[in-house]
Structure 1
Amino acid sequence: MEKGASSANERLHFGKMGYGCQHYRRRCKIRAPCCNEVFWCRHCHNEASSVLKNPSDWHEIVRQDVKQVICSVCDTEQQVAQLCSNCGVNMGEYFCEICKFFDDDTEKEHFHCQECGICRVGGRDNYFHCKKCGSCYSNALRDNHFCVENSMRHHCPICYEYLFDSLKDTTVMKCGHTMHCECYYEMIKRDKYCCPICSKSVIDMSRTWMRIDEEIEATEMPEDYRYKKVWILCNDCNDTTEVYFHIIGQKCSHCKSYNTRTISPPALPH
Protein backbone atom coordinates (compact mmCIF):
# COMPACT_ATOMS: atom_id res chain seq x y z
CA MET A 1 0.00 0.00 0.00
CA GLU A 2 2.76 2.38 0.97
CA LYS A 3 4.73 1.40 -2.14
CA GLY A 4 1.71 2.11 -4.36
CA ALA A 5 1.14 5.48 -2.69
CA SER A 6 4.81 6.34 -3.13
CA SER A 7 4.68 5.39 -6.82
CA ALA A 8 1.56 7.50 -7.37
CA ASN A 9 3.21 10.45 -5.61
CA GLU A 10 6.32 10.11 -7.78
CA ARG A 11 4.17 10.09 -10.90
CA LEU A 12 2.29 13.17 -9.68
CA HIS A 13 5.49 15.18 -9.26
CA PHE A 14 7.40 13.69 -12.21
CA GLY A 15 9.19 16.37 -14.21
CA LYS A 16 8.55 19.19 -11.73
CA MET A 17 10.52 22.33 -12.71
CA GLY A 18 11.85 20.43 -15.72
CA TYR A 19 9.57 21.97 -18.32
CA GLY A 20 8.43 25.44 -19.25
CA CYS A 21 9.59 28.71 -20.75
CA GLN A 22 11.34 31.91 -19.66
CA HIS A 23 8.13 33.06 -18.01
CA TYR A 24 6.90 29.98 -16.10
CA ARG A 25 7.94 26.45 -15.14
CA ARG A 26 5.01 24.19 -16.04
CA ARG A 27 4.35 20.72 -17.44
CA CYS A 28 1.87 21.67 -20.12
CA LYS A 29 1.42 23.95 -23.09
CA ILE A 30 -1.73 25.85 -24.00
CA ARG A 31 -3.65 25.96 -27.26
CA ALA A 32 -4.42 29.58 -28.01
CA PRO A 33 -8.19 29.95 -28.50
CA CYS A 34 -7.65 32.97 -30.77
CA CYS A 35 -5.36 31.42 -33.39
CA ASN A 36 -5.36 27.69 -32.47
CA GLU A 37 -1.54 27.67 -32.15
CA VAL A 38 0.32 25.98 -29.27
CA PHE A 39 2.52 27.94 -26.85
CA TRP A 40 4.02 27.46 -23.40
CA CYS A 41 2.07 30.41 -22.01
CA ARG A 42 0.09 33.50 -23.00
CA HIS A 43 3.22 35.67 -22.78
CA CYS A 44 5.01 33.45 -25.32
CA HIS A 45 1.95 33.80 -27.57
CA ASN A 46 1.74 37.58 -27.17
CA GLU A 47 5.44 38.06 -27.86
CA ALA A 48 5.22 35.94 -31.01
CA SER A 49 2.12 37.85 -32.14
CA SER A 50 3.72 41.27 -31.59
CA VAL A 51 6.46 40.61 -34.19
CA LEU A 52 4.13 39.61 -37.02
CA LYS A 53 4.69 41.73 -40.12
CA ASN A 54 1.07 42.77 -40.51
CA PRO A 55 -0.09 44.85 -37.49
CA SER A 56 -3.67 43.75 -38.12
CA ASP A 57 -2.58 40.21 -37.17
CA TRP A 58 -1.37 41.31 -33.72
CA HIS A 59 -3.54 39.93 -30.92
CA GLU A 60 -3.35 38.75 -27.32
CA ILE A 61 -4.77 35.77 -25.49
CA VAL A 62 -7.63 36.27 -23.07
CA ARG A 63 -6.40 33.95 -20.33
CA GLN A 64 -9.88 32.90 -19.20
CA ASP A 65 -10.73 31.73 -22.74
CA VAL A 66 -8.10 28.95 -22.82
CA LYS A 67 -9.91 25.60 -23.10
CA GLN A 68 -7.24 23.08 -24.17
CA VAL A 69 -3.79 22.16 -22.81
CA ILE A 70 -1.17 19.63 -23.94
CA CYS A 71 0.69 17.60 -21.31
CA SER A 72 4.44 18.02 -21.76
CA VAL A 73 5.13 14.55 -20.35
CA CYS A 74 2.84 12.41 -22.52
CA ASP A 75 1.72 14.92 -25.23
CA THR A 76 -1.97 14.33 -24.51
CA GLU A 77 -4.24 17.20 -25.47
CA GLN A 78 -7.16 17.66 -23.10
CA GLN A 79 -9.46 20.14 -21.41
CA VAL A 80 -7.90 22.46 -18.83
CA ALA A 81 -7.29 20.68 -15.50
CA GLN A 82 -4.45 20.44 -13.01
CA LEU A 83 -3.78 16.70 -13.49
CA CYS A 84 -3.16 15.08 -16.86
CA SER A 85 -6.09 12.84 -17.77
CA ASN A 86 -3.74 10.31 -19.38
CA CYS A 87 -0.54 10.00 -17.33
CA GLY A 88 -1.74 11.57 -14.07
CA VAL A 89 1.16 14.04 -13.81
CA ASN A 90 0.55 17.33 -12.02
CA MET A 91 0.85 19.88 -14.84
CA GLY A 92 1.37 22.73 -12.37
CA GLU A 93 2.02 22.71 -8.61
CA TYR A 94 0.03 25.94 -8.55
CA PHE A 95 -3.12 25.87 -10.64
CA CYS A 96 -5.86 28.46 -11.02
CA GLU A 97 -9.01 27.23 -12.73
CA ILE A 98 -10.24 30.80 -13.27
CA CYS A 99 -7.09 32.11 -14.99
CA LYS A 100 -6.25 28.73 -16.62
CA PHE A 101 -2.82 29.26 -15.10
CA PHE A 102 -0.11 26.71 -14.22
CA ASP A 103 3.26 27.17 -12.48
CA ASP A 104 5.60 24.70 -10.76
CA ASP A 105 7.58 27.44 -9.01
CA THR A 106 5.63 27.66 -5.75
CA GLU A 107 8.27 29.93 -4.19
CA LYS A 108 6.55 32.77 -6.03
CA GLU A 109 3.63 32.33 -3.58
CA HIS A 110 0.86 32.75 -6.14
CA PHE A 111 -2.64 33.75 -5.15
CA HIS A 112 -5.76 34.68 -7.07
CA CYS A 113 -7.20 38.12 -6.33
CA GLN A 114 -10.95 38.14 -6.90
CA GLU A 115 -11.05 41.94 -7.22
CA CYS A 116 -8.22 42.08 -9.79
CA GLY A 117 -9.59 39.00 -11.52
CA ILE A 118 -6.10 37.57 -12.06
CA CYS A 119 -3.37 35.68 -10.19
CA ARG A 120 -0.69 37.60 -8.34
CA VAL A 121 2.64 36.58 -6.77
CA GLY A 122 4.20 37.40 -3.41
CA GLY A 123 1.79 35.79 -0.93
CA ARG A 124 -1.80 36.72 -0.19
CA ASP A 125 -0.96 37.83 3.35
CA ASN A 126 1.62 40.32 2.06
CA TYR A 127 -0.76 42.25 -0.20
CA PHE A 128 -4.05 44.11 -0.05
CA HIS A 129 -6.39 45.23 -2.81
CA CYS A 130 -6.90 48.99 -3.10
CA LYS A 131 -10.38 49.43 -4.54
CA LYS A 132 -9.81 52.98 -5.79
CA CYS A 133 -6.47 52.22 -7.45
CA GLY A 134 -7.96 48.95 -8.71
CA SER A 135 -4.97 46.74 -7.96
CA CYS A 136 -3.06 44.80 -5.31
CA TYR A 137 -0.35 46.65 -3.42
CA SER A 138 2.18 45.63 -0.77
CA ASN A 139 0.92 45.94 2.82
CA ALA A 140 3.58 48.64 3.32
CA LEU A 141 1.41 50.92 1.15
CA ARG A 142 -1.81 50.38 3.12
CA ASP A 143 -2.95 53.88 4.22
CA ASN A 144 0.44 55.05 2.94
CA HIS A 145 -0.07 55.97 -0.71
CA PHE A 146 -1.90 58.59 -2.74
CA CYS A 147 -4.79 56.91 -4.53
CA VAL A 148 -5.30 57.45 -8.25
CA GLU A 149 -8.33 55.76 -9.77
CA ASN A 150 -7.30 52.68 -11.80
CA SER A 151 -3.65 53.75 -11.50
CA MET A 152 -2.36 50.33 -12.56
CA ARG A 153 -4.60 49.99 -15.60
CA HIS A 154 -2.34 51.89 -17.96
CA HIS A 155 1.02 51.47 -19.66
CA CYS A 156 4.33 52.19 -17.96
CA PRO A 157 5.18 55.79 -18.99
CA ILE A 158 8.78 54.75 -19.69
CA CYS A 159 8.66 51.39 -21.51
CA TYR A 160 4.91 51.43 -22.39
CA GLU A 161 4.25 47.86 -21.19
CA TYR A 162 0.78 47.40 -19.67
CA LEU A 163 1.25 47.46 -15.90
CA PHE A 164 -1.83 45.70 -14.54
CA ASP A 165 -0.68 42.18 -15.42
CA SER A 166 3.02 42.83 -16.04
CA LEU A 167 5.51 40.24 -14.75
CA LYS A 168 7.87 43.01 -13.62
CA ASP A 169 7.75 44.67 -10.19
CA THR A 170 6.00 48.03 -10.07
CA THR A 171 6.30 51.02 -7.75
CA VAL A 172 3.85 53.71 -6.64
CA MET A 173 5.26 57.23 -6.72
CA LYS A 174 4.39 60.03 -4.30
CA CYS A 175 1.83 61.38 -6.74
CA GLY A 176 0.04 58.01 -6.90
CA HIS A 177 1.04 57.14 -10.46
CA THR A 178 2.80 53.86 -11.14
CA MET A 179 5.61 52.50 -13.29
CA HIS A 180 8.01 49.57 -13.35
CA CYS A 181 10.59 49.62 -10.56
CA GLU A 182 13.46 49.18 -13.02
CA CYS A 183 12.12 52.04 -15.16
CA TYR A 184 11.78 54.24 -12.07
CA TYR A 185 15.37 53.65 -10.95
CA GLU A 186 16.67 54.20 -14.48
CA MET A 187 14.78 57.51 -14.59
CA ILE A 188 16.28 58.62 -11.25
CA LYS A 189 19.75 57.54 -12.39
CA ARG A 190 19.37 59.91 -15.34
CA ASP A 191 18.56 62.80 -12.98
CA LYS A 192 14.88 62.87 -13.95
CA TYR A 193 12.90 63.53 -10.76
CA CYS A 194 9.43 64.34 -12.09
CA CYS A 195 6.57 61.96 -12.78
CA PRO A 196 6.30 61.50 -16.57
CA ILE A 197 2.50 61.62 -16.27
CA CYS A 198 1.74 64.57 -13.97
CA SER A 199 5.19 66.24 -13.63
CA LYS A 200 5.10 66.24 -9.80
CA SER A 201 8.38 65.64 -7.95
CA VAL A 202 8.77 61.94 -7.12
CA ILE A 203 11.40 62.32 -4.38
CA ASP A 204 12.15 64.81 -1.60
CA MET A 205 13.70 67.79 -3.44
CA SER A 206 14.09 70.16 -0.46
CA ARG A 207 17.91 70.04 -0.53
CA THR A 208 17.91 70.77 -4.26
CA TRP A 209 15.58 73.74 -3.75
CA MET A 210 17.92 75.10 -1.03
CA ARG A 211 20.86 74.79 -3.41
CA ILE A 212 18.95 76.69 -6.11
CA ASP A 213 18.14 79.39 -3.51
CA GLU A 214 21.87 79.82 -2.95
CA GLU A 215 22.62 79.92 -6.69
CA ILE A 216 19.94 82.58 -7.28
CA GLU A 217 21.22 84.68 -4.40
CA ALA A 218 24.72 84.54 -5.88
CA THR A 219 23.57 85.26 -9.45
CA GLU A 220 22.51 88.85 -10.07
CA MET A 221 20.19 89.44 -13.00
CA PRO A 222 20.87 92.21 -15.57
CA GLU A 223 19.13 95.53 -14.87
CA ASP A 224 16.61 95.03 -17.69
CA TYR A 225 15.34 91.79 -16.13
CA ARG A 226 15.83 92.49 -12.43
CA TYR A 227 12.22 93.50 -11.79
CA LYS A 228 10.53 91.50 -14.55
CA LYS A 229 7.62 89.37 -13.28
CA VAL A 230 6.08 86.22 -14.77
CA TRP A 231 3.15 83.99 -13.93
CA ILE A 232 4.04 80.42 -13.00
CA LEU A 233 2.19 77.16 -12.37
CA CYS A 234 3.72 74.88 -9.75
CA ASN A 235 3.74 71.24 -10.82
CA ASP A 236 3.98 70.10 -7.19
CA CYS A 237 1.08 71.98 -5.57
CA ASN A 238 -0.78 73.30 -8.64
CA ASP A 239 -0.68 76.85 -7.27
CA THR A 240 -0.57 79.77 -9.72
CA THR A 241 1.57 82.74 -8.69
CA GLU A 242 3.18 85.89 -10.09
CA VAL A 243 6.88 85.93 -9.20
CA TYR A 244 10.10 87.70 -10.18
CA PHE A 245 11.75 86.12 -13.21
CA HIS A 246 15.20 84.55 -12.81
CA ILE A 247 17.22 82.71 -15.40
CA ILE A 248 17.98 79.85 -12.96
CA GLY A 249 14.39 79.18 -11.97
CA GLN A 250 11.10 80.48 -10.58
CA LYS A 251 10.15 79.55 -7.02
CA CYS A 252 6.59 78.73 -6.00
CA SER A 253 5.45 81.14 -3.30
CA HIS A 254 3.17 78.49 -1.82
CA CYS A 255 5.25 75.29 -1.43
CA LYS A 256 8.73 76.72 -2.19
CA SER A 257 9.27 74.29 -5.08
CA TYR A 258 11.23 75.14 -8.21
CA ASN A 259 9.33 72.50 -10.17
CA THR A 260 7.41 75.23 -11.98
CA ARG A 261 6.66 76.44 -15.48
CA THR A 262 5.73 79.86 -16.86
CA ILE A 263 2.17 80.39 -18.07
CA SER A 264 0.11 83.16 -19.60
CA PRO A 265 -1.33 85.71 -17.16
CA PRO A 266 -4.84 84.82 -15.94
CA ALA A 267 -7.64 86.55 -17.81
CA LEU A 268 -9.09 89.64 -16.16
CA PRO A 269 -12.74 89.47 -15.11
CA HIS A 270 -15.20 91.22 -17.43
Structure 2
Amino acid sequence: MERSVIERLDFGKMGYGCKHYRRRCRIRAPCCNELYSCRHCHNEATVAQVCTNCGVRMGEYFCSICKFFDDETGKEHFHCDDCGICRVGGRENFFHCKKCGSCYSNGLRDNHLCVENSMRHHCPICYEYLFDSLKDTAVMKCGHTMHSECYHEMIKRDQYCCPICSKSVIDMSRTWKRIDEEIEATVMPEDYQNRKVWILCNDCNDTTEVYFHIIGHKCGHCNSYNTRAIAPPVLPQ
Protein backbone atom coordinates (compact mmCIF):
# COMPACT_ATOMS: atom_id res chain seq x y z
CA MET A 1 0.00 0.00 0.00
CA GLU A 2 1.35 3.42 -0.93
CA ARG A 3 2.50 5.73 1.86
CA SER A 4 0.00 8.45 0.89
CA VAL A 5 -2.92 6.00 1.26
CA ILE A 6 -1.74 4.92 4.74
CA GLU A 7 -1.43 8.55 5.80
CA ARG A 8 -4.99 9.22 4.62
CA LEU A 9 -6.30 6.23 6.61
CA ASP A 10 -4.53 7.42 9.76
CA PHE A 11 -5.43 11.08 9.30
CA GLY A 12 -7.19 12.45 12.37
CA LYS A 13 -6.48 9.40 14.54
CA MET A 14 -7.30 10.29 18.17
CA GLY A 15 -8.05 13.80 17.00
CA TYR A 16 -11.54 13.71 18.45
CA GLY A 17 -13.01 12.22 21.57
CA CYS A 18 -14.04 13.09 25.10
CA LYS A 19 -14.01 11.68 28.62
CA HIS A 20 -16.61 9.12 27.55
CA TYR A 21 -15.17 7.78 24.26
CA ARG A 22 -12.13 8.01 21.98
CA ARG A 23 -13.15 8.17 18.31
CA ARG A 24 -12.38 9.82 14.96
CA CYS A 25 -15.70 11.55 14.48
CA ARG A 26 -18.32 13.77 16.04
CA ILE A 27 -22.09 13.45 15.88
CA ARG A 28 -24.61 16.07 14.83
CA ALA A 29 -27.53 16.22 17.25
CA PRO A 30 -30.90 16.22 15.42
CA CYS A 31 -32.51 18.41 18.09
CA CYS A 32 -30.12 21.36 17.91
CA ASN A 33 -28.03 20.60 14.79
CA GLU A 34 -24.81 21.07 16.83
CA LEU A 35 -21.72 18.82 16.77
CA TYR A 36 -20.73 16.85 19.89
CA SER A 37 -18.24 14.10 20.65
CA CYS A 38 -21.00 11.81 21.95
CA ARG A 39 -24.60 11.80 23.21
CA HIS A 40 -23.42 12.15 26.83
CA CYS A 41 -21.53 15.33 25.99
CA HIS A 42 -24.66 16.64 24.27
CA ASN A 43 -26.81 15.91 27.31
CA GLU A 44 -24.33 17.46 29.73
CA ALA A 45 -24.18 20.63 27.65
CA THR A 46 -27.76 21.10 26.54
CA VAL A 47 -30.31 19.19 28.65
CA ALA A 48 -32.30 21.79 30.61
CA GLN A 49 -35.62 22.12 32.40
CA VAL A 50 -37.15 23.99 29.47
CA CYS A 51 -37.02 22.61 25.93
CA THR A 52 -34.86 24.86 23.73
CA ASN A 53 -37.04 24.12 20.70
CA CYS A 54 -40.64 24.46 21.92
CA GLY A 55 -40.27 26.14 25.31
CA VAL A 56 -42.18 23.42 27.19
CA ARG A 57 -41.22 23.04 30.85
CA MET A 58 -40.42 19.31 31.00
CA GLY A 59 -40.73 18.90 34.77
CA GLU A 60 -41.39 21.01 37.85
CA TYR A 61 -38.33 19.36 39.39
CA PHE A 62 -35.17 19.24 37.33
CA CYS A 63 -31.69 18.08 38.32
CA SER A 64 -28.99 19.32 35.97
CA ILE A 65 -26.56 16.71 37.33
CA CYS A 66 -28.76 13.61 36.98
CA LYS A 67 -30.66 15.03 33.97
CA PHE A 68 -33.82 14.04 35.81
CA PHE A 69 -37.32 15.51 35.47
CA ASP A 70 -40.45 14.96 37.56
CA ASP A 71 -43.74 16.83 37.88
CA GLU A 72 -44.62 15.29 41.25
CA THR A 73 -43.18 17.97 43.52
CA GLY A 74 -44.84 16.36 46.54
CA LYS A 75 -42.01 13.83 46.55
CA GLU A 76 -39.71 16.65 47.73
CA HIS A 77 -36.78 15.65 45.52
CA PHE A 78 -33.25 16.70 46.36
CA HIS A 79 -29.86 15.88 44.92
CA CYS A 80 -27.24 14.46 47.29
CA ASP A 81 -23.74 15.22 46.07
CA ASP A 82 -22.22 12.48 48.23
CA CYS A 83 -24.64 9.82 46.97
CA GLY A 84 -24.39 11.18 43.43
CA ILE A 85 -28.11 10.72 42.78
CA CYS A 86 -31.45 12.41 43.46
CA ARG A 87 -33.49 11.26 46.44
CA VAL A 88 -36.99 12.02 47.72
CA GLY A 89 -38.39 13.06 51.09
CA GLY A 90 -36.98 16.56 51.59
CA ARG A 91 -33.35 17.49 52.15
CA GLU A 92 -34.10 18.80 55.65
CA ASN A 93 -35.30 15.33 56.71
CA PHE A 94 -32.13 13.47 55.79
CA PHE A 95 -28.40 13.47 56.43
CA HIS A 96 -25.62 11.68 54.57
CA CYS A 97 -23.60 9.17 56.59
CA LYS A 98 -20.20 9.11 54.95
CA LYS A 99 -19.15 5.79 56.47
CA CYS A 100 -22.37 3.97 55.58
CA GLY A 101 -22.27 5.71 52.18
CA SER A 102 -25.90 6.77 51.94
CA CYS A 103 -28.59 9.19 53.09
CA TYR A 104 -30.48 8.26 56.27
CA SER A 105 -33.44 9.91 58.01
CA ASN A 106 -32.56 12.38 60.74
CA GLY A 107 -33.86 9.96 63.36
CA LEU A 108 -30.77 7.80 62.75
CA ARG A 109 -28.26 10.62 63.21
CA ASP A 110 -25.92 9.52 66.05
CA ASN A 111 -28.40 6.68 66.59
CA HIS A 112 -27.12 3.85 64.42
CA LEU A 113 -24.10 1.58 64.23
CA CYS A 114 -22.07 2.50 61.15
CA VAL A 115 -21.02 -0.26 58.77
CA GLU A 116 -18.82 0.86 55.90
CA ASN A 117 -20.83 1.06 52.65
CA SER A 118 -23.72 -0.75 54.33
CA MET A 119 -26.14 0.43 51.62
CA ARG A 120 -23.96 -0.65 48.72
CA HIS A 121 -25.29 -4.20 48.71
CA HIS A 122 -28.45 -6.15 48.02
CA CYS A 123 -31.27 -6.64 50.49
CA PRO A 124 -30.53 -10.02 52.11
CA ILE A 125 -34.21 -10.98 51.86
CA CYS A 126 -35.41 -9.93 48.38
CA TYR A 127 -31.95 -9.24 46.90
CA GLU A 128 -32.87 -5.88 45.38
CA TYR A 129 -29.96 -3.39 45.35
CA LEU A 130 -30.53 -1.07 48.30
CA PHE A 131 -28.57 2.05 47.39
CA ASP A 132 -30.94 3.29 44.69
CA SER A 133 -34.05 1.35 45.75
CA LEU A 134 -37.30 3.33 45.99
CA LYS A 135 -38.45 1.33 49.04
CA ASP A 136 -37.94 2.38 52.67
CA THR A 137 -34.87 0.92 54.34
CA ALA A 138 -34.43 -0.36 57.90
CA VAL A 139 -31.09 -0.11 59.73
CA MET A 140 -30.77 -2.94 62.27
CA LYS A 141 -28.98 -2.81 65.62
CA CYS A 142 -25.91 -4.42 64.04
CA GLY A 143 -25.73 -1.66 61.41
CA HIS A 144 -26.69 -3.82 58.44
CA THR A 145 -29.60 -2.77 56.26
CA MET A 146 -32.56 -4.27 54.43
CA HIS A 147 -35.91 -3.11 53.11
CA SER A 148 -38.30 -2.12 55.90
CA GLU A 149 -41.03 -4.37 54.51
CA CYS A 150 -38.59 -7.29 54.37
CA TYR A 151 -37.50 -6.59 57.94
CA HIS A 152 -41.07 -6.55 59.28
CA GLU A 153 -41.91 -9.73 57.36
CA MET A 154 -38.84 -11.39 58.90
CA ILE A 155 -39.90 -10.38 62.44
CA LYS A 156 -43.46 -11.54 61.75
CA ARG A 157 -42.05 -14.99 60.96
CA ASP A 158 -40.21 -15.06 64.32
CA GLN A 159 -36.78 -14.60 62.75
CA TYR A 160 -34.84 -12.26 65.05
CA CYS A 161 -31.28 -12.56 63.73
CA CYS A 162 -29.61 -10.45 61.05
CA PRO A 163 -29.37 -12.56 57.86
CA ILE A 164 -25.88 -11.13 57.26
CA CYS A 165 -24.08 -11.35 60.63
CA SER A 166 -26.55 -13.42 62.74
CA LYS A 167 -26.67 -10.85 65.58
CA SER A 168 -29.98 -10.29 67.39
CA VAL A 169 -31.89 -7.40 65.81
CA ILE A 170 -34.27 -6.69 68.72
CA ASP A 171 -34.10 -6.76 72.51
CA MET A 172 -34.24 -10.47 73.38
CA SER A 173 -33.80 -10.20 77.18
CA ARG A 174 -37.34 -11.45 77.93
CA THR A 175 -36.81 -14.43 75.64
CA TRP A 176 -33.47 -15.26 77.28
CA LYS A 177 -35.18 -15.17 80.71
CA ARG A 178 -37.85 -17.58 79.50
CA ILE A 179 -35.17 -19.97 78.20
CA ASP A 180 -33.45 -19.74 81.61
CA GLU A 181 -36.68 -20.94 83.20
CA GLU A 182 -37.13 -23.74 80.66
CA ILE A 183 -33.59 -25.00 81.22
CA GLU A 184 -34.02 -24.91 84.97
CA ALA A 185 -37.18 -26.98 84.64
CA THR A 186 -35.67 -29.47 82.18
CA VAL A 187 -33.23 -31.94 83.73
CA MET A 188 -30.82 -33.55 81.27
CA PRO A 189 -30.24 -37.33 81.35
CA GLU A 190 -27.46 -38.40 83.70
CA ASP A 191 -25.08 -39.24 80.85
CA TYR A 192 -25.24 -35.60 79.66
CA GLN A 193 -25.39 -33.69 82.92
CA ASN A 194 -21.63 -33.11 83.14
CA ARG A 195 -20.88 -32.73 79.45
CA LYS A 196 -19.52 -29.42 78.24
CA VAL A 197 -19.45 -27.78 74.83
CA TRP A 198 -17.60 -24.84 73.30
CA ILE A 199 -19.91 -22.19 71.89
CA LEU A 200 -19.56 -19.02 69.84
CA CYS A 201 -21.92 -16.16 70.70
CA ASN A 202 -23.36 -14.45 67.62
CA ASP A 203 -24.17 -11.31 69.64
CA CYS A 204 -20.80 -10.56 71.27
CA ASN A 205 -18.49 -12.93 69.32
CA ASP A 206 -17.19 -14.37 72.60
CA THR A 207 -16.15 -18.04 72.81
CA THR A 208 -17.11 -19.90 75.99
CA GLU A 209 -17.16 -23.44 77.32
CA VAL A 210 -20.55 -24.16 78.93
CA TYR A 211 -22.56 -27.12 80.12
CA PHE A 212 -24.39 -28.87 77.30
CA HIS A 213 -28.19 -28.60 77.26
CA ILE A 214 -30.62 -29.65 74.59
CA ILE A 215 -32.67 -26.41 74.86
CA GLY A 216 -29.82 -23.94 74.39
CA HIS A 217 -26.43 -22.65 75.49
CA LYS A 218 -26.08 -19.36 77.33
CA CYS A 219 -23.15 -17.07 76.58
CA GLY A 220 -21.13 -16.53 79.72
CA HIS A 221 -20.19 -13.02 78.62
CA CYS A 222 -23.44 -11.32 77.51
CA ASN A 223 -26.07 -13.90 78.66
CA SER A 224 -27.40 -14.35 75.13
CA TYR A 225 -28.75 -17.65 73.86
CA ASN A 226 -28.02 -16.61 70.28
CA THR A 227 -25.11 -19.03 70.20
CA ARG A 228 -23.89 -22.00 68.24
CA ALA A 229 -21.77 -24.99 69.21
CA ILE A 230 -18.32 -25.05 67.60
CA ALA A 231 -17.32 -28.46 69.02
CA PRO A 232 -19.24 -31.60 70.03
CA PRO A 233 -20.12 -32.03 73.73
CA VAL A 234 -17.50 -33.86 75.78
CA LEU A 235 -17.09 -35.05 79.36
CA PRO A 236 -14.79 -32.87 81.51
CA GLN A 237 -11.26 -34.18 82.01
TM-score by length of 2: 0.78
Partner of 2:111: 144
CA distance in 2, matches of 1:173, 1:96: 32
CA distance in 1, matches of 2:86, 2:134: 11
Contact 1:110 1:122 in 2 (8 A): yes
Q: Which has the larger radius of gyration?
A: 2
Q: CA RMSD in A?
A: 2.0
Partner of 1:175: 142
CA distance in 1, matches of 2:79, 2:120: 18
Query: Is residue 205 of structure 2 the alignment partner of residue 226 of structure 1?
Result: no
Q: Give, in angstroms, the shift of residue 264 of structure 1.
A: 3.3
Partner of 2:210: 243
Aligned mate of 1:113, from 80, 83, 92? 80
Q: Give, in angstroms, the shift of residue 85 of structure 1.
A: 2.5
CA distance in 2, matches of 1:136, 1:230: 44
Partner of 1:160: 127
Deviation string 1:140-196 (CA, Å, 9 cap, x unpaired) is 111110000000000000011110010111010000000000000010011100000
- Say which SS state the counterpart of residue 184 (structure 2) adopts: helix
- Structure 2's unaligned 5+ residue stretches are 1-38, 233-237
Q: Give, in angstroms, the shift of residue 66 of structure 1.
A: 9.3
Q: Which amino acid aligns with 2:187?
A: E
Aligned mate of 1:254, from 216, 221, 226? 221
Q: Which amino acid aligns with 1:249?
A: G
Relative contact order higher in (CA < 8 Å, ≥ 6 apart): 1
CA distance in 1, matches of 2:53, 2:81: 31
- Say which SS state the counterpart of residue 213 (structure 1) adopts: helix
Q: Where does 1:1-270 land on structure 2 (aligned, <5 Å)? A: 80-264=47-231
Percent identical residues? 83
Q: Give, in angstroms, the shift of residue 138 of structure 1.
A: 0.8
Contact 1:66 1:100 in 2 (8 A): no
CA distance in 1, matches of 2:229, 2:77: 49
Deviation string 1:69-114 (CA, Å, 9 cap, x unpaired) is xxxxxxxxxx532112333222111111111111111111111011
CA distance in 2, matches of 1:107, 1:227: 66
Deviation string 1:200-220 (CA, Å, 9 cap, x unpaired) is 000000111111111111111
Q: Aligned in 2, Cα 1:65/1:153: closer, same or farther, shift over 3 Å?
A: farther
Aligned pair count reads: 194
CA distance in 1, matches of 2:84, 2:177: 47
- Structure 1's unaligned 5+ residue stretches are 1-63, 69-78, 266-270
